[in-house]
Structure 1
């Protein structure tokens, strides 16, 4: 039983506005974080060996086929670093792009966190739907960020050891 009792129409409206609010506020907070936070090699964003520099995500989910259809949040907020295409091929450009994938990944992980709050005003079964929604909506974005960062990390590590020719392989 929800802690708050509202008519069904109001619950639906509240759910829509709550998700919009949470997504917007979390996105703005993450956008305001300095780039230096994401340029660091943090344990939170480290890629695992089993991800095989992003190849795992392509093998499991065929990321290349659908990643271009995802909406980049910068198009909605009109702020931030667009990740639909590279902004340059130099090592510093690629490192900034990789850092921005960390920002986007953090945004989507944090966007799932409010899901349990929906149990307050929704019936339990709807609360579970909200948890499911949070995962289904955000996980594709997280997968794409990890896929792209894996590829960029492989390129930049190759550039560090062999020069810029690794980018053109």
Structure 2
């Protein structure tokens, strides 16, 4: 049986972050035939700088690019920091956008989910990820976006939130890949 591989980029570096735990839960509950793999090491990436992205890019950037290029889909799980996406996630997208026009995200279906302890549930961060990843060439799946406030419910245990997240993963997996 062929498996659909989904690279999961977590926008929080904190080991016990809510979004990290959310991503781990999605990995553990992946549908049959779907392999979600959290791409670790985003915190090891230097800030993107074209001067160091030559014939021998940093090892952390090579690992990130290889992990995402080997995946059939990308799922971003992120909180919102100061009304936007975390810098570590923006930096990862910058590394994945190169080389220009042929980066690891080009043509890859991508969705965004996450929670944040604000009334907005991360909508602004998710919109920024959608815009940035789209510019980088990802095939952003607009209806694979779950922005959830963690104020009124526990997103890790709330059945409605869990179903919305599982549904987002299924939609991401079910979308036809874009021909490159």
TM range (shorter): under 0.3
Query: Structure 1 or 2: larger helix share?
Result: 1
Give the TM-score, by structure 2 length. Answer: 0.24
Give the TM-score, by structure 1 length. Answer: 0.25
Task: Pick 1 or 2: higher relative contact order, CA cutoff 8 A, min separation 6.
Answer: 1
Structure 1 or 2, whichever has the larger Rg, is 1
